[in-house]
Amino acid sequence: MKNLIKWFLNPPSNAPAATILLRLMAGGVFFWEGMLKFVYVNQGVGRFTKLGFPAPEMMANFVAILEIGGGLLLLAGFLTRLIAVPFIIEMIVAMLSTKVSLFFGTSPLPPPPSPPKMGIWGVLHDIRSDYAQLMVVIFLLIAGPGKWSLDAYLAKRRSEVSSTSDLSRPYGLAVRD
């Protein structure tokens, strides 16, 4: 259990520097999609109601808060691996709850604006952004947030503190005289 916690809270910072681009893309999309759920009722409570979710108002607010807060965490590169897990779950639930009915042509949501409107091609066309978000958060879970992240900065600081600390002091904290 201790190793799992360490894996989540001490991600590697040696992912390519370009990882920041993926974090900015995914974090930004999650953030503004969360905001939209509050601004436009049809994107939040209305959508969850049409899809048949229990307690749609509570679910929409929960998901919106997750997306806003988690999006900000991804943008900063803070607790990146930890927030990736609920985002992976969210994206899988979103894809299953919206795309299976689209495949069968029974979706309670409005059809896509242009053909294909159902079937496999309709699903593949409509799932593209959900799929991209899912793949990015899986990448961030595995690779970590990259060197331009708050996680990397804090790891560097922890490393500096532990290498200069006096181990005879409580908690290994260095005390300046």
CA distances from 33 to 45, 56, 163, 177 (A): 13, 16, 42, 51
pLDDT tens digits in sequence order for the chain, 177 residues long: 889 988 888 888 888 989 999 999 999 999 999 999 999 988 999 999 999 999 999 999 999 999 999 999 999 999 999 999 999 999 999 999 999 999 898 989 888 788 888 889 989 888 999 999 999 999 999 999 999 999 999 988 888 887 765 555 544 445 454
Six-digit token pair at 46? 């209305």
Say if residue 86 is preceded by a cis peptide, omega within 30 of 0.
no
- pTM here is 0.85
The residue extents of the domains of the chain are 2-147
